[in-house]
Amino acid sequence: MKRPVLFLDFDDVICLNAPYGGYAVKAAIDQGSFHSAQDLHEKLFDSSAKQYLAQINDEFNP
């Protein structure tokens, strides 16, 4: 059985650029602090969007 493929649009859908967006990620990578930037990791993706994505994952196993 083939598993479904899920295409995600991150910018302004999952990553709302509030308070962090792609530029914040790039800056953290450039500074070498990406892996230790806990606040960035916690707030980069919208919490409601993460919940919906988890439900999709549970239901369809893409």
Per-domain boundaries in the chain: 1-62
**Eight-class DSSP state of 12:** T
**Eight-class DSSP state of 59:** H
Average pLDDT, the chain: 93
Please give the radius of gyration of the chain, using alpha carbons only, rounded to the nearest integer.
Answer: 14
- Look at residue 53 and give its three-state secondary structure: helix
3-state secondary structure 6-56: CCCCCECCCECCCCCCHHHHHHHHHHCCHHHCHHHHHHCCCHHHHHHHHHH
Model pTM score = 0.77
**Confidence grade of residue 3 (pLDDT, cut at 50, 70, 90):** confident
pLDDT tens digits for range 6-59: 999 999 999 999 999 999 999 999 999 999 999 999 999 999 999 999 999 999
